[in-house]
Each structure stands twice: as C-alpha cells, then as structure tokens.
Structure 1
C-alpha cells in the first residue's frame, strides 16, 4: 500500500493565514522539510496525509478543517483508476482516511472530523453543545443521501426533473428548511451551533455547497437561496483566512465546485 502512495504526486501544505491572504513560495511544504514544529493539541496531525479522490465529496470537509489548523499536511488526491489497487489495504476499504506521521491510520470521515475538532479547538466542551454539533453533522449525511437518492434509477431527464421539483418544494427543500431552522434555534452570528467556529460549520459549508455547485444533476444552483441562516454559515466559512488561502493555493487546479465554494464569501 505504501508503495502505491509513494508513486503518486501529492501536495503538502503549511499556509500562513496572517499574510493578507497571499501564499509565499515558502508556505508550500514538502513532507521532508517542515518549516516549524507544531505544539499543542494539533501536534498529532502535523505531517499527516489525507488520502481521497481528486474531488469534493467526503474529503473536502477534512481538507478545510485540517488546513484551518495551520499545520503541515499532505493532500493526497488519487485517481479513480488507482482505487481498485488501494481499496483492500485502505481502512474499512473506504476513503477518505488519514495517515499520521507515526504511521497510525484514521478512518471514517465523521470520526476523523471530530478528532480534528477536539484536538484543534473546534469542538465544544459542553456536552449538550457537542451533541448539537454531532446532530447537525449527522444530518449533513442525511442531506447528501437524500439528494443522491432522489430520482435514482430514473432516466436522466426524469431524474433531473424530480430533483428540481424536490429542491424547490419537495423533500430536499423541506430538509434544508429544517436545517435552517435548526441553525436559527442553536446557532448565532453565522455559526451553526453556538457563537463560535466548530467542525459543524465546515460540514454545513462542504455539504451544502457541494449540493448547489452542480455536482448533482437537476439540483439548481439557487437551491440554498431561501435559507438565510444556512447561507450565513457558508459565508462565515468561506470568509475565513484559512479557507480563502486554501482556494487561492489551489490556483488553476480548482474545480467548478471549488470555485463555487470560494465564491460563498461574497454572499
């Protein structure tokens, strides 16, 4: 498995977010030459590698959260054609996963996200607030599944029509309304839960942006427009210096989905 990873081109990052959003050449890290050691709770993630496909999907929330920690890490993007040879050796046979610098493997997106949050100060200490964060993170998976399964098995034109209907006044719209109401009840100031940044803000941003970005045929790009509180969370995350720097760093490699994500700062 390690031989496969060694053959792929990967990018390592350590971006200074206090440099006016610009990325100097010395901010792009190589795994064998870290600029500085990381202290504190985030140290376990210093020099880690995140492996996922070259797309948004389940990997983007982890990329943004790891990047926000301000540590050196490697964004290992594999091709679909590489996956069959890697699957048997991957934890649980799934992507994404994280390999720490000591060789420890971490798997399952939400479990990794919670650990990043706990180690990086992005997870509430209060038990009920932590529950609300987990509750909405889990709901993001429900939302993704609802969109993916809507119109499943239908001919393309019919599937798109069903998704458009559901997005505008059906199941997808209703679930988005519940999410917006949840944010109104439990969040404030552009944050989904509480009044400060947590992992659930990255989850809401990644999932909802993906849905509206054109990844799912038939879902209009205006699907999120009626939900002001949800959109405020997207704006909050997109406006973080770490997020701005991340998408600027991606440069010409940015996909249409990444361009859509980055544009949320202008909402």
Structure 2
C-alpha cells in the first residue's frame, strides 16, 4: 500500500528539504517503521508510505540496505537504513533533536532503551508453550524484568524530562520512540502482556499523552488506513488516560 502524508503542518525549525519526496518502505504493521512515520508526518514532510506485504519481502531483501527494513529512499536516489540512524537524522534536520551534546546523548540513550524494552518483551517466554509464555509475560509485566525496566524508564524521564516530555522540556524524537514502543506493548500485540502494564508509570504515561495529543498524531491515525494498527497504537494510547 502506498500513501502520502496529507499533514499540512510545516516545521518551524530545522531544514527537512532533503527528506521531501522520500519513500519509506516497511511492512503495513507498526513495528520499527511507525516511529519514522510519526516523525515524518509531524514535520509535514511530503513523503510516500510504501507498505509491503510479507510475501513481497523475500524478493526485495537482496536490494535493501543491510537486507533489513525499514529503509528510506531520498528523492535523489540515496538510500538510508537503520531505524535509529534515520530517526536521528530526521530529528536533526527537523528541529526534533537537541543541540546540546549531553541532552542529545540522553535522547539517544532512551531511544536505545526503547529497543531494549521491545526486545525484552518479545523474548520473554520465547520458546515456551502458549499458555506458559503468556503466564511468564504477565508475571514479568507485573513484578519481573519488564516491570523493572519500565520503572527505570519512568525514573529516567523523571530525572531528565519535564512537562510530558521524555528529555528536556520540548518535543524530540525520543518522545515518538517512547510513544510508539510503549503503546505497542500495551496494545495487546504481545500475548500475556496486560493492557494495564503501563498504568503504574505516570511520567511515561504523560509522554504518551503528549504525543497522542499532537494534531499530527491524531490526523495520522484518522487517515492511516489500517484499522488494526489504528486500534493497536492510538485507541489504546494516552488519549484515554
């Protein structure tokens, strides 16, 4: 499925010209690609959302940078790969990345931790029978490793962010990363992880609410064109907190 952003908003800072006319290629679901979609859409960049089917991927894999998705093709034919590297470049060009070196490090630190969180949830109970896997994930979400990592994330936001922002007092790429990763975890995608998994973490929830309340986010999920994903990440997101 191919669709283009219809968000009329344009960035108030930064220089996103290099991304105008780009194509983001990823599967139709959420996963690693959604944080890039949210950031590109927020900045009002004219881009194409190239969603491929799983059955199409084997034929495309050899031509993909590093043999992985997502990747971005700029209008001049340049390919960009690796989600976090692309996200960081989008942030720098669009004014969503701190100029201060230490603040930028804190953004990178928490973006990396979002990947750790996603992997921890995915791998918990891996290889077990379904019922056992779900029980292990529930236990981990409520009292174990997943819960402990979420607590550390919440404490990190308390130490380095404010006003519903994960780092500093203004919107940055890490807020989109927190929103997309944590909303997915609480959405029911991962069997055994309860939808209440994030409830004890007020500062993390405040970041989700900040991103969910952005006009660009609301517009994205009104027009995304995928009812399943819309329900997974937005209707279960912080607008209802």
- Residue 29 and residue 174 in structure 1: after superposition, are their counterparts in 2 closer, same or farther (change >3 A)? closer
TM-score norm. by structure 2 comes to 0.93
Q: Structure 2: which 5+ residue stretches go unaligned?
A: none
Query: Residue 247 of structure 1 contacts residue 262 of structure 1 at CA under 8 Å; is this kept in 2?
Result: no
Return the alpha-carbon distance in structure 1 between the equivalents of residues 106 and 10 of structure 2: 35
CA, structure 1 residues 37+117, in 2 after alignment: closer, same or farther (shift >3 Å)? closer
How far apart are the structure 1 equivalents of 2:6 and 2:176? Answer: 29
Cα-to-partner distance string for 1:26-83 (whole Å, 9 max, x where unaligned) = x998699999999961011101100000101000000000101102110111100000
Q: Which moved more, 1:83-92 or 1:31-40?
A: 31-40
CA distance in 2, matches of 1:74, 1:256: 19
Decide whether the 8 Å contact of 1:52 with 1:97 is kept in 2. Answer: yes
Does the Cα contact within 8 Å between 2:4 and 2:49 map onto a contact in 1?
no
* 1:242 equivalenced with 2:207 (yes/no): no
Cα displacement string for residues 215-262 of structure 1 (whole angstroms, at most 9, x for unaligned residues): 111000000000000000000000001101111112564525545456
Aligned equivalents of 1:257, 1:114: Cα separation in 2: 27
Are residues 64 and 35 of structure 1, via their aligned partners in 2, closer, same or farther at CA, if it must alter by over 3 Å? Answer: closer
* Pair 30,260 (structure 1): closer, same or farther in 2 beyond 3 Å: closer
Tell me the alpha carbon deviations over residues 11-39 of structure 1, each in whole angstroms, 9 at most, x when there is no partner: xxxxxxxxxxxxxxxx9986999999999
Compute the RMSD of aligned alpha carbons: 3.0
Seen in structure 2, the aligned counterparts of structure 1 residues 82 and 183 have a Cα distance that, compared at 3 Å, is same
Q: Work out whether residues 215 and 257 of structure 1, in 8 Å CA contact, stay in contact via their aligned partners in 2.
A: no
In 2, Cα distance between equivalents of 1:51 and 1:74: 8
SS at match of 1:74: strand
- Looking at structure 2, the residues matched to 262 and 195 of structure 1 have their Cα atoms a distance apart, in angstroms, of 25
Conserved? CA contact 2:13–2:94, under 8 Å: no
- Flag the 1:143–1:28 CA change in 2: closer, same or farther, 3 A: closer
CA distance in 1, matches of 2:196, 2:139: 13
Partner of 1:140: 114
Distance 2:13 2:163 in 1: 30
Q: Do 2:7 and 2:42's aligned partners in 1 also have CA atoms closer than 8 Å?
A: no
From the superposition, tell whether residues 211 and 259 of structure 1 become closer, same or farther in structure 2 (CA, over 3 Å).
Answer: closer
Q: After TM superposition, where is structure 1 displaced by more than 3 Å over at least 4 residues in a row? A: 27-40, 251-254, 256-263
Which stretch shows the higher mean deviation, 116-125 or 243-252? 243-252
Q: Please tell me whether the aligned partners of residues 14 and 95 of structure 2 are also in contact (alpha carbons under 8 angstroms).
A: no
1:48/1:217 Cα in 2 relative to 1: closer, same or farther (>3 Å)?
same
Report the 3-state secondary structure (helix = DSSP H, G, I; strand = E; otherwise coil) of the residue aligned with 1:135: helix
Distance 1:218 1:206 in 2: 19
| Alignment match of 1:225 (pick from 194, 199, 203) | 199
Alignment check: 8 A CA contact 1:164 1:218 kept: yes
Match of 1:155 among 126, 129, 132: 129
Give 1 or 2 for the bigger CA radius of gyration. 1
Distance 1:91 1:38, change over 3 A: farther
User: Which piece of structure 1 moves more, 128-137 or 256-265?
Assistant: 256-265
